[in-house]
Structure 1
Amino acid sequence: MPLIRNSYGKGHVRIMRVNRDSARHEVRELTVEVLLTGAFDPSYTVGDNSSVIATDSVKNIVNIVARDNVGAENEVFAGILARYFLDHYAHVSSVEITATETKWARIPIEGAPHDHAFVLDGNGKPFINLTATREDSVLTSGVLGFTFLKTTRSGWENFWVDEVTTLKPTADRIFSTAMDATWEWSAVPASYADANAAVIEAALKVFATTYSPGVQNTMYLMGEAVLAAVPEIAEISMACPNKHYLPIDLSPFGRAFDGQVFTPTDEPHGQIACTVGRG
């Protein structure tokens, strides 16, 4: 029977890069997965491992490239890492690299960010994904579980109603989500870090300052704003679970609902996704 496709590599390679070129240190902590595709079929079909680069060697390469490029932005680091495999192993045809970042923020001391002391930044996990061959590459950046909320200027009305509908329309509800977003690069920005920050800033500005008739519309408007703010992005994909806050009925205790007390719940939740591109 034919072997349809295969890839292999090393996952959960954890690496912390500390750039000490000045008194102000930069830290970048990544969890890296490297998957290789190429002339590895015999290792699957007949147990011939002669072409297989050991996954332990893959881990060592991640560490070596990290040491040689401590100051590289994460997207740049992924490109250098992919190039190492393509340059050193002729039988590797493509490399896929996924790296999730553990974010650290500078500790403020008397109003100024400290040069070498950090606190864990808890909102969302930035990541990158690069698929590279010798002829081409596709690079995406993104964030997982980036959570935000607003307490008003959100509603859900005029939806389809039939015999199974029990949800009541509302023009005023809490809107909360933990967004997974991925944006694809069509050009190299002056700074990936600044461009990624501009993505979040543009999306949050729309979220905070516009009335939301539904998660769908708000996501689309956020995507439009991101593409306007960062011309190097070709398209952005977003998935936003609607994390519900349910009004608590306190009428048995002689208290009316006044929009101030809710039960947080995220199971089950609405799941909404879209991709906005330049056409």
Structure 2
Amino acid sequence: MRMESHSPLGIYYGKDDVYVYRTCHTPLHAWTPIHESPVEFRDQTVFGARVRMAVEGDAFLPSFRDGDNRDVIATDSMKNFLLRHAALYEGPSLDGYLAFAGGRLLETYPHVRAVELYADEQAFRPVPVPGAEGFEDSTLVFLHSRNEWSTAELRMERHPDGSPFVVWHRSGLDGLHLIKIRGNSFVGYIRDEYTTLPEDSNRPLYVFLSARWTYVDPLSALSNQATGYVLAEQIRDLAGAVFHALDTRSIQHLIHRICALALVRFPQLESITFQSQNRTWERIVETADGRGQVYTEPRPPFGFQGITMTRADLAEQWPHFEAEWETAT
């Protein structure tokens, strides 16, 4: 988590690994349907999050310097604050919950100058059970998913009049792992005395992906209606669709196209960042029928890539490959 302290001494502290679970939470709707994703909503019969909260302010200097704790909010109290405000929050999104809890904390403790919160979704999906017309989702039993998850992070400070406001906010997606077994190349790079990697015109490509995105109007995502919210599942599906359709010439090529299409599909986004890791498997042997390969995990060093694309970047770059994408799909 990033903590941007404005205190000259960088004074902050907080509570991490606060697990919050709430049942019968409000469903989160996909307000902007896209061609690349069938997701319409996120069922949140079980809403879960792992939350980190950090507070900042010069009022805490005596505690650091002198051991004087008169203005210290115990981190155990922070845990209880987060848990109890999960029951009071009426909106649907993880991001909105953080904004609600952060705003209430600044209102409750006037000596806190700023608060930062970060959360990882703890996803629970209904298990399939036999029903009258085949299998259906259980309304009672849920599986704790170990797949990709959504994230949220924000910083709140107080105006001169004392009211809280959001300084920055990002939604996100972590833990996305995708393998494409063919249709990926990596050729034409610099070859010199340091180069041992052979060129490959049709390699399998296994990537770890994470994303963060910001909104033109953060309140459209943080309000109780969350009418501008972009679900992490939609970004996941969009990334998979681009990977499937694209003649991938590098991982940089892939994440550039994912970012561009995300900004096209979601006009409420101001920017999107993708980070990737190349985790492509090491080829060991071909199968006896010649149709497949056997692989193992690669050696520990791995390559990584990153890109941030804004709406201004999109306006400049999209016309150059819009036709390419339409042809590919």
TM-score when normalising by structure 2: 0.76
Task: Classify 1:256/1:270 alpha carbon distance in 2 versus 1 (closer, same or farther; 3 Å).
Answer: farther
Contact 2:116 2:153 in 1 (8 A): yes
Contact 2:184 2:203 in 1 (8 A): yes
Aligned counterparts of 2:293 and 2:25: Cα–Cα separation in 1:
49
Aligned pair count?
274
Aligned to 1:149: 179
Residue 239 of structure 1, aligned match among 275, 280, 304: 275
- Give ranges in structure 1 of 5+ residues lacking alignment: none
Task: Classify 1:85/1:25 alpha carbon distance in 2 versus 1 (closer, same or farther; 3 Å).
Answer: closer
Q: Cα distance, 1:194 vs. partner?
A: 5.2
Aligned to 1:36: 55
Contact 2:25 2:46 in 1 (8 A): no
Quick check: 268-277 or 197-206, which moved more? 197-206
Aligned to 1:55: 75
2:271 partner SS: strand
Aligned counterparts of 1:184 and 1:25: Cα–Cα separation in 2:
23
Contact 2:284 2:293 in 1 (8 A): no
Aligned counterparts of 2:140 and 2:229: Cα–Cα separation in 1:
19
Aligned to 2:110: 90
The yes-or-no answer on 1:125 pairing with 2:125 is no
Deviations 1:52-100 (A, max 9, x none): 1111111110111012227632111111100111111111111100111
Q: Report % sequence identity.
A: 25
- Give ranges in structure 2 of 5+ residues lacking alignment: 1-6, 28-42, 160-164, 313-329
Quick check: 241-250 or 211-220, which moved more? 241-250
Amino acid at match of 2:281: Y
Deviations 1:163-217 (A, max 9, x none): 1101111110111112121112332244576533322222221111111000001
Amino acid at match of 1:27: V
Aligned counterparts of 1:102 and 1:191: Cα–Cα separation in 2:
22
Q: What does 1:174-193 align with in structure 2 at a 5 Å threshold? A: 174-187=204-217, 188-189=220-221, 190-191=226-227
Task: Classify 1:237/1:194 alpha carbon distance in 2 versus 1 (closer, same or farther; 3 Å).
Answer: closer
Residue 235 of structure 2, aligned match among 161, 177, 199: 199
The yes-or-no answer on 1:278 pairing with 2:311 is yes
Q: Cα distance, 1:20 vs. partner?
A: 6.6
Aligned counterparts of 1:153 and 1:117: Cα–Cα separation in 2:
40
Q: Cα distance, 1:271 vs. partner?
A: 1.1
2:98 partner SS: helix
Q: What does 1:4-15 align with in structure 2 at a 5 Å threshold? A: 4-15=9-20
Q: Cα distance, 1:161 vs. partner?
A: 0.7
Aligned to 1:268: 301
Aligned counterparts of 1:222 and 1:21: Cα–Cα separation in 2:
30
Q: Cα distance, 1:4 vs. partner?
A: 1.9
Aligned counterparts of 1:184 and 1:70: Cα–Cα separation in 2:
22
Q: Cα distance, 1:261 vs. partner?
A: 2.3
Aligned counterparts of 1:132 and 1:164: Cα–Cα separation in 2:
48
Contact 1:243 1:266 in 2 (8 A): no
Q: Cα distance, 1:260 vs. partner?
A: 1.9
Deviations 1:228-273 (A, max 9, x none): 12222221112111012222257xxxx8987522223262211111
What CA RMSD, in Å, does the superposition of the two structures yield over aligned residues? 2.5
Aligned to 2:193: 163
